[in-house]
Structure 1
């Protein structure tokens, strides 16, 4: 299968590209810089120059492919609403090139979209069939799904991968490195209130396998304690109104409590994570 991948040179995207190539697919990756283009060529992929805001480039990439994996998303939290709206527009553009083709389109969302419908204090893991927000006003990030899922009625084999708040592994530049920087800067690691909130996590290589399977087949631990131990700094509990000063724009994620199950995904796609977990990755990987 010839697959068009957005954010193909990114942290998750580069793993997806390698996963696809190693299983006999060919890849054309969207690259907005020469450095990204060079990285894709070195990996063995073709290159389409353009950005995720270039809707015509997205249509062109989707038109020449047998399937699409859409990973690109602007995680600038200072313009979060715009980023979510723009992702919906990007998915609209990709989908318009695939209408009535029966080709697969795999888009990316987040497990966090289910947080607004969880009862306070619930310990039941979120699951794929749990009720989702029905409008972006409830949860802006749901716009990606709201744009994607109607395409299933227009002859597109669409599926959604909800990534965990933390995708970990070598080269991670997301929330865990931000937590480590905050701990270094303040000589203390921290958690919010009691620290009992739970995060789902996934290794980037396991996520890459899931994207491939979705393309081909689709119809808990104390993080702060590990960071504190690794940096040899104290581990402190913060009140909710103190979290912003410590974590900055990522404070919301630090206090997120969202246990999640992937049982349906495993049963439907035959996906089985095989990489180390986040805590072991923190202790033995490249984060420190």
Structure 2
């Protein structure tokens, strides 16, 4: 299968490209830069120049392939809602090309949308709309449902807050950076609120399995269903030789800044249906084991 991958040079997308090529697929990877093109060629993929704002370029990439894995997203949290609406337009544009063809499209979302109340276990069967969630990323799932209604073979891949491995530049490195800056590793209240996580190589394999044999469904790429945030803070404190402290929700805002709302959330998630649907089991280290390896703390 020839697969168009957006976000092909990113942390998750690059692992998907490697997974696909290793399984005998051809990859056409989206990139905007010369460095990205070089990385794709080195990985054995073909290069497609374009951006998420250039919908015609995206559509030509989709048109040239047998399936699409869409992982690209503009990670500027100061314009988060605007970027989620960009994703809505991207999915709609790709859907216009795929409608009626049965070529698979996998779009990316977050496990938090699988819960309808704080602290509720997020499950694949929960449908996310603007009526069930105020999270801006619901735009991606609404767009997926809209193109499905047009006859697109679309699946939703929900990723947890932490997708981890060497090279991670997401939420865990943010926590480590805050701990270094503040001189303490902190958690909120009793730290019992839970974070799900997955190793990026396990996530990459799941994308491939869904592409190859998945039916149009919502899938959860979850390895750790819910790690208490206190445990994450304790590992960070141990490796940085810093005290580990509890902060009240009021104190957390000053300490964590914009990140307080994320780290203070209780967002456990299940992958039970996913495991049954495509016979997927995580095989790589969980988040705590990955942290204990030490590579997150190398400067």
The answer as to whether partners of 2:190 and 2:246 remain within 8 angstroms in 1 is: yes
Q: Which is further off, 38-47 or 144-153?
A: 144-153
Q: CA deviation at 1:132?
A: 2.5
* Aligned match for 2:173, one of 170, 177, 183: 177
What is the CA deviation profile of residues 27-62 of structure 1, one whole-angstrom value per residue up to 9, with x for unaligned ones? 000001111111011000000111111111110110
| SS of equivalent residue, structure 1 residue 97 | helix
| SS of equivalent residue, structure 2 residue 257 | helix
CA distance in 1, matches of 2:169, 2:85: 23
Q: CA deviation at 1:149?
A: 2.0
Which residue does the alignment assign to 1:63?
63
The answer as to whether partners of 1:114 and 1:133 remain within 8 angstroms in 2 is: no
Alignment map for 1:30-179 (pairs within 5 Å): 30-115=30-115, 117-118=116-117, 120=118, 122=119, 125-135=121-131, 138-179=134-175
Which residue does the alignment assign to 1:267?
276
The answer as to whether partners of 1:3 and 1:69 remain within 8 angstroms in 2 is: yes
| SS of equivalent residue, structure 2 residue 281 | coil
TM-score (norm 2): 0.92
| SS of equivalent residue, structure 1 residue 191 | strand
Structure 1 unaligned residues grouped into runs of 5+: none
What is the CA deviation profile of residues 171-214 of structure 1, one whole-angstrom value per residue up to 9, with x for unaligned ones? 00000001000000111001111111011100000000111111
The answer as to whether partners of 1:70 and 1:108 remain within 8 angstroms in 2 is: yes
CA distance in 2, matches of 1:125, 1:137: 14
What is the CA deviation profile of residues 79-122 of structure 1, one whole-angstrom value per residue up to 9, with x for unaligned ones? 1110110000111111111111110000000011235x22x5x5
CA 1:102–1:29: 2 relative to 1, 3 Å: same
* Aligned match for 2:200, one of 201, 204, 209: 204
What is the CA deviation profile of residues 226-275 of structure 1, one whole-angstrom value per residue up to 9, with x for unaligned ones? 00000000111112222232222221110111111100001001111000
Which residue does the alignment assign to 2:241?
232
| SS of equivalent residue, structure 2 residue 198 | strand
Structure 2 unaligned residues grouped into runs of 5+: 216-226
Which residue does the alignment assign to 1:276?
285
**Equivalent residues, number:** 284
TM-score (norm 1): 0.95
The answer as to whether partners of 1:28 and 1:48 remain within 8 angstroms in 2 is: yes
CA distance in 2, matches of 1:249, 1:200: 20
The answer as to whether partners of 2:112 and 2:122 remain within 8 angstroms in 1 is: no
The answer as to whether partners of 1:165 and 1:200 remain within 8 angstroms in 2 is: yes
| SS of equivalent residue, structure 1 residue 140 | coil
| SS of equivalent residue, structure 1 residue 199 | strand
Q: Which is further off, 151-160 or 33-42?
A: 151-160
The answer as to whether partners of 1:135 and 1:142 remain within 8 angstroms in 2 is: no
